[in-house]
Structure 1
Amino acid sequence: MNRVIGIRRHPLKSAAAEHVAEAFVGKHGLDGDRTWTCLDADGTIGSAKQPRLWGTLLAVSATYQPAQGDRARAVHIAAPGAAPAQAGTPEADAAVSAWLGRPVRLTRNAPQQLKRHHWWPDEPGMIPDWVADQTPGEDDTVAARHDAEGGRFFDFGPVHLVTTGALERLDNEHGSEVDPARFRPNLILDLPADPEPGQRIAIGPDAVLEVAIPTPRCVIPSLAHGDAPADRALLKTLAAHHRIDVADYGRATCFGLYANVLAVGSIATGDRVTVAG
């Protein structure tokens, strides 16, 4: 039976994933996902797509506490070597700043001109057609996205997923097992292959997603993620086997899928998954 085998939330953008057994999927994605970001002194937001500045943020953990009774919702941050602190407090800012080695501030509010730093990989094939004028191996400052209604710092779609079928294929192409954490998905679905854009994915009794587009990849999969060490060769594998046409955009190296939420509902690991359309 096709099923959910992993649910992951990222309360702080570009911080480590929180592995959860169940979550509520609203129209803006998983409850608590990517609701906080780091704000740098230059007004840009934190993203490990510029690893020189933000790569170590992947080692910071963040956990989401939903509202319950009189208790307000909250996100708790734990930087290596520091005590956990609630996001939005000076203690959390100080802990993340000390870990990154420069002053940053955690925020739920998007700056008026939302931008982030980006490093364009120098591996051939890793730059999408729609930014073909960019120079490989160069830094850039690009516009960032923010779902103002939902208060989310998403790069594109509200839900990001990978499938076991695609991961098994990638393992064979790469010659070793690839940790799905490298792709920072919300959902890991036990499906033999990726659904196509426009197809619908029913999860559990209520939730329904619709596949939007394949996920263009950046440098992040090659960085260290927890116990998974840096793997620069992974970019070469991705570019060699996963550069495809993305409808209305052009060719790009992609892995995983962005999806929109058609019907909200609670999901849990082990829930049945059905693909239609």
Structure 2
Amino acid sequence: MLRLSALYRYPLKSGKGQALQQVGLDKLGLDGDRRWMLVDEPSGRFLTQRAFAHMSQLSAIWNNAGGLTLSAAGHPTLDVPLPGSDAELRGVTIWRDTLRVPDAGDEAAAWVSEFIGKPTRLVQVPVARARTTASGYGKDDDKVAFADGFPLLLIGQASLDDLSQRIGRPMEMLRFRPNLVIEGSEAFAEDGWKRVRIGDVELRVVKSCSRCILTTIDPQTGERSADRQPLTALEAYRKEPDGVMFGQNLVNDGVGRLEVGMPLTILE
């Protein structure tokens, strides 16, 4: 039987992942997932582990009011409230998208600037200001918060096991930052799925996920792999014209709740 074996949320883009037992979904995917982001203060350009590997050690816990609690070794804990309707809007850029979103204020900016090591702002995206997903995939009204391109990422546990066997040591699932992990399928079976249902939620599989240097960062230590794994292994057998593929991007149709242990049904 196919089942949902793990759920992960990443409240801050490129921050630590948070394992969940259950979670709701809204128009932008998992409640609280990648609704916050760090940006370079002068340019508004988004910041990630690709350039700042120590972001993997930044804990950002989302609360039910939509706020965020920031913590990291050597830094005091900071509770950041959800920006109000009167919050300053800041122009930001994420990949090719530009948008204006609420800024979290100067206290949060001082904290994240100290952590990053240069002037940085913390911003949040409400549903009404979310981006549209990549053109040519999904539907015209599909939306995404600060995830790279799509609201949800699914990976089969067997796919990771296959990769780990090829490398010769276990790879952590969190290197790939999925939201949904599925057990009971063959390796890379998810590549052939088009529509699935978990609980009462239907999800569309819209695009394979191309992987980058971020996967070489150990999520526990923040150190990069000296042998460039798992990218080196993936390039040998998962390379396509659009990149090295591992995992599937999804969009949820409608809202609902997910819980670890729920069965997954392949609809198409």
Residue ranges of structure 2 left out of the alignment (5+ in a row): 81-103, 132-140
Instruction: Give 1:268's aligned residue.
Output: 259
- Among candidates 202, 206, 209, match of residue 208 of structure 1: 202
Question: Deviations 1:219-271 (Å, cap 9, x if unpaired)?
Answer: 00001212575322322111112113xxxxx3421111101112321011111
Query: One-letter code of the match for 2:258?
Result: I
Q: Secondary structure, in 3 states, of the residue corresponding to 2:191?
A: coil
Q: 8 Å contact 2:208–2:245 — kept in the other structure? A: yes
1:60-209 map, 5 Å: 60-67=58-65, 73-87=66-80, 88-108=104-124, 152-190=145-183, 191-193=185-187, 194-196=189-191, 199-204=194-199, 206-209=200-203
Identity %: 28
Query: One-letter code of the match for 1:96?
Result: V
1:259 partnered with 2:250: yes
What is the distance in 1 between the residues matched to 2:172 and 2:74? 25
What is the distance in 2 between the residues matched to 1:228 and 1:220? 10
What is the distance in 2 between the residues matched to 1:187 and 1:229? 25
What is the distance in 1 between the residues matched to 2:229 and 2:32? 33
Instruction: Give 1:56's aligned residue.
Output: 54
Q: Secondary structure, in 3 states, of the residue corresponding to 1:83?
A: strand
1:240 partnered with 2:241: no
Q: 1:251 to 1:104 in 2, by over 3 A?
A: closer
For structure 1, which segment, 56-65 or 39-48, has the greater mean C-alpha deviation from structure 2 after superposition? 39-48
Instruction: Give 1:46's aligned residue.
Output: 47
Residue ranges of structure 1 left out of the alignment (5+ in a row): 68-72, 115-147, 245-249
Q: 1:273 to 1:228 in 2, by over 3 A?
A: farther
Alpha-carbon deviation of 1:218?
0.6
What is the distance in 2 between the residues matched to 1:239 and 1:48? 21
What is the distance in 2 between the residues matched to 1:196 and 1:151? 21
The Cα RMSD (Å) is 2.5
What is the distance in 1 between the residues matched to 2:264 and 2:222? 28
Q: 8 Å contact 2:217–2:223 — kept in the other structure? A: yes
Alpha-carbon deviation of 1:83?
2.2
What is the distance in 2 between the residues matched to 1:156 and 1:169? 26
